[in-house]
Amino acid sequence: MYKVLSIDDMLSGKKSKYALAIAVAKRAREITDEMLEKGEPLEEKAVSVAIREFKDHKYEIMEPTSYI
């Protein structure tokens, strides 16, 4: 059974959903690369793992303080 994730919870006060999408994609790529390097198969999708890590606040999304 799938649990509905709240984007607001994952953003934890940040405003940019774009930043969340980029951060999850980059983390998913890191997870995939780590598993390939170790020669281990992925048991679940890397994106699902990355989303869960951000939801659990294992990683923080850093945004610039001002935009040019």
Q: Would residue 22 count as lying in a domain?
A: yes
Q: What is the average per-residue pLDDT within 14-19? A: 75
pLDDT of residue 9 exceeding 70, the answer is no
Q: Would residue 44 count as lying in a domain?
A: yes
Give residue 11's pLDDT. 57
Total domains in the chain come to: 1
> Do the Cβ atoms of 3 and 53 come closer than 8 Å?
no
In which domain, by residue range, is 44 found? 9-55
Give residue 49's pLDDT. 94
Give residue 67's pLDDT. 58
Give residue 1's pLDDT. 46
> Do the Cβ atoms of 10 and 53 come closer than 8 Å?
no
Q: Would residue 63 count as lying in a domain?
A: no
Q: Would residue 36 count as lying in a domain?
A: yes
Q: What's the whole-model pTM score?
A: 0.71
Q: Would residue 33 count as lying in a domain?
A: yes
The DSSP line for 33-63 is: HHHHHHTPPPSS-HHHHHHHHHHTTSS----
% of the chain with per-residue pLDDT over 90: 41
What number of helices (H) and strands (E) belong to the chain? Answer: 3, 0
Q: Would residue 34 count as lying in a domain?
A: yes
